[in-house]
Amino acid sequence: MDLLPQADDLSGDLEAMLDSVVALRAEVPEQAFTAQTLGTSRTGSGVVLDDRGTVLTIGYLTTEAHTAFLTTRSGQVVQAVPLAYDQVTGFGLLKALGPLKATPARRAKGPCAEVGDTVFLISHGGSRHALKARLADRRPFAGYWEYLLEAAFYTTPPHPEWSGAGLFNQAGELIGIGSLLLQEAIENAPDAASGQGNMVVPIELLEPILDNLMKTGQSGLPPRPWLGLYAAEDEGRVIVGGVADKGPAMKAGLQQGDLILDVAGHRVHSLATFLRTVWAVGPAGVEVPLKVGRDGELLRLSIQSVDRNALMYRAGAH
């Protein structure tokens, strides 16, 4: 399989696709909540959405950033300001502070791609940084940082520059934003032996919240309860891998290695079920009761959840 896309691989405009993707560099203050886990200097890609300079990326690149710069395919550098980071989808928005010499991407409407389709994952830098790939699967993705997508895209082979990269279909339409490199094998992947691929956030999740994100920086939906823990699943068990410093879980006494058995009276056997059950208890601020296994004993803990956004650094200029 030739991994570099050619014009005859798609019915859309390859040059327009390449031109819509920009490089992104964001600087985050050392006192920011995410500075230790995500770093203070973050780089990746973004996709231009409109002529006003709105750029879509993956939110972990820009959360708590006080300075950001965009570089177009032609080499133009423009300063930008972060507009929003939606914790539910993982999308981030920025606004260029000057005209961008780039072509806005065409966003897909309705069904945009099926498993098995050829797709194109494009990061900043032009054709040498574009990958002809395959949509290998579409299924839930649960992240250890209290994140869940019910129908994420999985593509293969992996793109090494995935953060904020644009995923396009054969019509040249933007269908997703690159989020992760996955080490485990992707189901249905023809090269599953490599054990790697990319997880991509579908663009369809943006449309219902885009107007609110641009106007207010928020989705308009009630914030989900955040517990401040990092969890994984292993053979039908949910295991605490760590807790956020001074977060709700730490304050409630949850510890690394604890087994989460029950949330509000409901047994949980997977990370996805655990997250769905926590969020069903109520919005951010609700008290979440857990039954926990620790060293052969059963413990009952109650975690006072919070809105994760309330912990984030906000520069005065924003």
Residues 127 and 98 in one domain: no
User: Is position 179 within any domain?
Assistant: yes
Residues 173 and 257 in one domain: no
User: Is position 272 within any domain?
Assistant: yes
Check pLDDT > 80 for residue 162.
Answer: yes
The pLDDT tens digits of the residues spanning 212-245 come to 999 999 999 999 999 999 999 999 999 999 999 9
pLDDT bracket for residue 316 (50, 70, 90): very low
Residues 160 and 192 in one domain: yes
Q: Residues near 25 by Cβ (< 8 Å), separated by ≥ 6?
A: 41, 42, 43, 68, 69, 71
Check pLDDT > 50 for residue 64.
Answer: yes
Strands 54-58 and 297-304: unpaired
Number of domains in the chain: 3
User: Which of 76, 103, 130 represents a domain boundary (last residue)?
Assistant: 103
How many C-beta atoms lie closer than 10 Å to residue 281's C-beta?
Answer: 15
Residues 23 and 113 in one domain: no
pLDDT of residue 317: 38
User: Is position 132 within any domain?
Assistant: yes
Residues 124 and 75 in one domain: no
Bridge partners, residue 56, by sequence: 47, 93
User: Which of 58, 81, 103 represents a domain boundary (last residue)?
Assistant: 103
pLDDT of residue 96: 97
Residues 199 and 250 in one domain: no
Residues 185 and 242 in one domain: no
pLDDT of residue 112: 81
Residues 197 and 235 in one domain: no
For 149, the domain range is 7-12+106-206
User: Is position 301 within any domain?
Assistant: yes
Residues 72 and 116 in one domain: no
221 phi, psi to nearest 5 deg: -95, 150
pLDDT of residue 186: 62
Residues 23 and 43 in one domain: yes
The pLDDT tens digits of the residues spanning 81-107 come to 999 999 999 999 999 999 999 999 999
Query: pTM to 2 decimals?
Result: 0.93
Check pLDDT > 50 for residue 318.
Answer: no
Check pLDDT > 80 for residue 189.
Answer: no
User: Is position 66 within any domain?
Assistant: yes
Residues 152 and 116 in one domain: yes
User: Is position 217 within any domain?
Assistant: no
Check pLDDT > 50 for residue 192.
Answer: no
User: Is position 214 within any domain?
Assistant: no
User: Is position 176 within any domain?
Assistant: yes
CATH of residue 251: 2.30.42.10
Check pLDDT > 90 for residue 129.
Answer: yes
